[in-house]
Structure 1
């Protein structure tokens, strides 16, 4: 039996079927990265296009982050739907909506129409991301799940390199250009409908590690109970991670402009450095977590965040900013799969969709609030100040995680 009520894996270990299922999940997961990062290099030109609009600077950033608000609002509902009615139909519908809503920026006239398309894109991402992560829990268990989540994080990061560089090149042609990338989801939808199997909706309750040693409520086994405190802590960690990370797509273009590198292509390459190093780190996530434990993995991730953002805050040219992004990248590469692994290991199968819907809400609420929280500081002191504050926060978070890791693995004394 596997932890947290996992059923027997539904993905063949080899053969074209297993490879096709893994490939579909990986590509579908990359849609969540594309949703926001691909238009980031166009932000300065988009802000210029909105010149004369009140709060143009904030509104330009909200074009990137508005989907996150709707993801946060819709993800719990998506989680309930997939637990109640199944996974694949919602995933396919989400991919179709993603392509149509994302691509609407190519033709939308006026800020209101652009923001409406971004809101619908958020609904689509909530459907896709919640379902994909739930399917990972359904299809894989144990070390295979850890390996796949690390591979998924790497694929998303490497995909982010491609998307953001492509977005930068298209942004140099026209600020609407990056919106064309979203249309690729329309090709993915029928492929997923054909390849991905629908998991059983009802799983026999199995052992939940977080419930061990505690009495279950009357009429409910320990394995069936949701470990609320552990889940809340994981949600908080995910929120903080995304709140700080999202300075990269929303504020880095303006930091680069401040140091004289205001090209969309250069912005895309700098963000690509972040994603590339995140992907490399994610490839080693499974082995790293088995060696040092989850708390220490978080510590390393927040250390990378503090070092990279601290360097970005004092950088005076594009080269140092790009290096800073490469240093900071592992924070996302290992922290994100670490959160998913811990959550899937502790949540009973019958709560899986709803729990991952809540995680999606925490992640994207952090995305949405990131520019809202950072913009007053940026307007008062410049973008470097926001990166410096996050660096200090990352240092505090790393210290806390290392303390927890040492406490958990302290040697026991006899007698």
Structure 2
């Protein structure tokens, strides 16, 4: 596939899968309203509405990695979208907090099944610079979906907190696009087992990347879980304004996704460090502002870092494994990502209690300096390590 094989319509179908990755964003602006509707439920339990799908995403992503061995990818995708839709929309009609959390767990399984497929389908159908550009566009398209889902969810919350779950009806047109226009990718053969080759489908680099990304997500996911609650308790904004901050984040992520090819070409090995630094900077700003405008600015900076980080880290994971094991590598990557996101409120709550931090800003007080220090360390390590241009280039081919 050295020559262009698929046209614009196919690219649109492939990128439409990325729309499903932001469906969980629709409930985030409603967390404050849900907390008011359930005053006897602890804030940590309310946060599980956002973080529980990340835990079940582990199950879903690992399931995809196993199903892909004997099922077609489009069949797996159909299953995933069905599970995602049912788990997402049922709480709109009935259920107490326990039932809502069960539905969110079901939604998380479907969400997790989609996650590795969104990137592996690009890796399967495209190569070289075309693949890298589409990986950046995947983040950009996902950001647009984030704007839509977040704002729809926020405005529906004004009517009733249950109405926010009706936003999952938007999955239906995405499903139809995928059914009609997405081709089934060719299955890549694994290398013949010889001299230990079969043990190198997933390399040590694959696991290093996955583990570091887990730690990163413990910190960065606190932006999602805490934003609506911080703004509500600070009396700075309602669910719609919290949704606007998250929209600023996704809009900036869209821009970063569009420019990812040029950014990565310019910064090369320092791209990841820039992304981590921008996310750390956004948390630092959030610790020192008390106006709605500055919340928007912080959200936009977070989005730039988020939009640069995701395609860069995904390409590293794909490049670290054999082509036949790309989906499997991504399934483990997504699983550990889900671990990080699920453990985010639990871990940060534990850390803040240990060091004596209190209040709704406590988690961000930990995240800001940790990420900024990590960005500086990355810059120093990269600057003083020997460049491996040939190896790096091969990871993207």
TM-score normalised per structure 2:
0.90
Give the Cα–Cα distance (whole angstroms) in 2 for the partners of residues 226 and 288 of structure 1: 29
Equivalent in the alignment of 1:279: 254
SS in 2 for 1:381: coil
Equivalent in 130, 146, 155 of residue 144 of structure 1: 130
5 Å-filtered alignment, 1:281-360, equals 281-294=256-269, 296-360=270-334
TM superposition shift of 1:26: 2.0
Q: 1:202/1:410 Cα in 2 relative to 1: closer, same or farther (>3 Å)?
A: closer
1:154 aligns with 2:140: yes
Equivalent in the alignment of 1:201: 187
TM superposition shift of 1:218: 4.4
Q: 1:112/1:71 Cα in 2 relative to 1: closer, same or farther (>3 Å)?
A: same
5 Å-filtered alignment, 1:370-389, equals 370-375=344-349, 377=352, 381-389=358-366
Contact 1:10 1:199 in 2 (8 A): no
5 Å-filtered alignment, 1:180-219, equals 180-203=166-189, 205=191, 218-219=194-195
Equivalent in the alignment of 1:57: 43
Give the Cα–Cα distance (whole angstroms) in 1 for the partners of residues 320 and 300 of structure 2: 32
Q: Deviations over 1:129-174 (max 9, x none)?
A: 1222211110111211110111111111222122212211111111
1:268 aligns with 2:272: no
TM superposition shift of 1:284: 1.4
Give the Cα–Cα distance (whole angstroms) in 1 for the partners of residues 13 and 85 of structure 2: 16
Contact 1:40 1:164 in 2 (8 A): yes
TM superposition shift of 1:220: 4.3
Give the Cα–Cα distance (whole angstroms) in 2 for the partners of residues 410 and 118 of structure 1: 44
Q: 1:290/1:114 Cα in 2 relative to 1: closer, same or farther (>3 Å)?
A: same
Consecutive unaligned residues of structure 1, counting only runs of 5 or more, are 1-7, 207-216
Equivalent in 359, 370, 373 of residue 396 of structure 1: 373
More deviation in 370-379 or 229-238? 370-379
Equivalent in 11, 24, 33 of residue 13 of structure 2: 24
SS in 2 for 1:39: helix
Give the Cα–Cα distance (whole angstroms) in 1 for the partners of residues 294 and 276 of structure 2: 20
Q: Deviations over 1:115-141 (max 9, x none)?
A: 111111011112211222211110111
TM superposition shift of 1:373: 2.1
Contact 2:154 2:240 in 1 (8 A): yes
TM superposition shift of 1:9: 6.6
Equivalent in the alignment of 1:211: none
Q: 1:11/1:186 Cα in 2 relative to 1: closer, same or farther (>3 Å)?
A: farther
Contact 1:306 1:390 in 2 (8 A): yes
Equivalent in 155, 170, 186 of residue 156 of structure 2: 170
TM superposition shift of 1:221: 4.0
Q: Deviations over 1:169-197 (max 9, x none)?
A: 11111111211111222332243122222
Contact 1:63 1:115 in 2 (8 A): yes
1:12 aligns with 2:1: no
Equivalent in 10, 13, 33 of residue 45 of structure 1: 33
Contact 1:298 1:334 in 2 (8 A): yes
Contact 2:276 2:371 in 1 (8 A): yes
Consecutive unaligned residues of structure 2, counting only runs of 5 or more, are 389-397
TM superposition shift of 1:290: 2.1
Moved over 6 A (4+): none
Give the Cα–Cα distance (whole angstroms) in 2 for the partners of residues 83 and 347 of structure 1: 16
TM-score normalised per structure 1:
0.87
Give the Cα–Cα distance (whole angstroms) in 2 for the partners of residues 110 and 252 of structure 1: 24
SS in 1 for 2:161: coil
TM superposition shift of 1:396: 1.5
TM superposition shift of 1:237: 2.9
TM superposition shift of 1:408: 3.5
